[in-house]
């Protein structure tokens, strides 16, 4: 019995870590498409093709349920996959909805009409592909009205994190926050719309100010996954826990161990 978690690189390990803490007995097959990372600068068609290929690998590894722990893939590929590609006996879930439900204070599965919510001005920090997709705004509009969203494409942050250059990553975060605040000086809340960004959450919070509520995804996705599996225990597959990568397994293992400060050993996919 295993669930698949997919990311273009190491960012999804923040979700895996939260899932492992929330559901310690759940085997997970984690796949990093390191050979093609980052996805955030690719075209929507390219992201769709790569995401389908990676998801197919996880299905083949015995996973009936795959979580796209990648905002770029969730934004650019998920809806198209669900509508025309995912087999009837499989499920693919994204990471946007749990975050938006927390932001709008809606319960899981609440399908009531959109309504006014407490937040009015929301800053969204994400990859260029996620920003251009406008997927976050679309999903938010299903649940809330009267919310102004200002998106900031955070070029370079994922690359710096994947390379282990946290000094550069911090400098880039502060630069992107400055650019966002020139457009929206006083956001009520900020969304970290990339699974790499929880590693920089303290930096985002510091740059934004302590009065801005920062929403990060990992624990929210883990809680939603636990709830989903309670309601759909049949979606547990037959695979065994593993960490897979399309890149250099030794290098990715070293980066992952530094990334999470936990020993992580990848195999070639």
Q: What is the CATH number of the domain that holds 31?
A: 3.40.50.1860
In the residue annotation, 203 being an active-site residue is answered as no
Question: Do 68 and 35 reside in the same domain of the chain?
Answer: yes
pLDDT at residue 106, rounded to an integer? 83
pLDDT at residue 108, rounded to an integer? 63
Last residue of a domain, one of 190, 215, 240: 215
Question: What does pTM read for this prediction?
Answer: 0.89
Catalytic residue (one of 52, 63, 154, 194): 194
pLDDT at residue 29, rounded to an integer? 97
Question: Do 67 and 113 reside in the same domain of the chain?
Answer: no
In the residue annotation, 70 being an active-site residue is answered as yes
Question: Do 130 and 229 reside in the same domain of the chain?
Answer: no
Q: What is the pLDDT of residues 69-109, one digit of tens each?
A: 999 999 999 999 999 999 999 999 999 888 888 888 887 66
pLDDT at residue 8, rounded to an integer? 93
Last residue of a domain, one of 175, 198, 215: 215
Residue spans of the chain under pLDDT 70: 1, 108-109
Segments forming the whole domain that contains residue 156:
97-215
Catalytic residue (one of 63, 70, 154, 203): 70
Domain total in the chain: 2
pLDDT at residue 97, rounded to an integer? 85
Question: Do 133 and 234 reside in the same domain of the chain?
Answer: no
Question: Do 205 and 154 reside in the same domain of the chain?
Answer: yes
pLDDT at residue 163, rounded to an integer? 87
Question: Do 222 and 208 reside in the same domain of the chain?
Answer: no
Q: Which residues of 142-151 are buried (b: 16+ CB within 10 A; e: fewer)?
A: ebbeebebbb
């Amino acid at each position: 019995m295993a669930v698949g978690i997919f990311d273009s690189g190491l960012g999804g390990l923040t979700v895996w870590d939260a899932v492992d803490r929330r559901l310690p007995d759940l085997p997970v097959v984690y796949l990093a498409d390191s050979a093609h990372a980052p996805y955030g600068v690719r075209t929507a068609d390219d992201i769709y093709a790569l995401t389908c290929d990676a998801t197919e690998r996880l299905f083949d590894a015995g996973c009936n349920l795959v979580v796209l722990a990648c905002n770029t893939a969730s934004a650019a590929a998920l809806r198209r996959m669900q509508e025309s590609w995912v087999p009837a006996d499989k499920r693919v879930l994204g990471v946007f909805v749990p975050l938006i439900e927390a932001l709008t204070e809606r319960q899981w599965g609440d399908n009531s009409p959109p309504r006014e919510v407490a937040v009015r001005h929301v800053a969204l920090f994400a990859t260029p592909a996620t920003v251009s997709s406008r997927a976050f705004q679309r999903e938010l509009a299903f649940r809330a009205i009267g919310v102004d969203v200002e998106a900031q494409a955070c070029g370079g942050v994922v690359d710096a994190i994947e390379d282990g250059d946290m000094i550069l990553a911090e400098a880039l975060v502060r630069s992107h926050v400055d650019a966002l605040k020139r457009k929206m000086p006083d956001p009520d809340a900020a969304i970290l719309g990339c699974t790499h960004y929880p590693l920089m959450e303290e930096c985002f919070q510091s740059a934004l100010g302590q009065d801005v509520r920062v929403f990060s995804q990992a624990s929210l996705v883990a809680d939603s996954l636990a709830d989903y599996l309670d309601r759909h225990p049949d979606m547990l597959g037959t695979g065994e826990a593993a960490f897979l990568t399309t890149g250099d397994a030794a290098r990715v293992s070293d980066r992952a161990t530094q990334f999470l400060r936990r020993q992580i050993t990848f195999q070639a996919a």
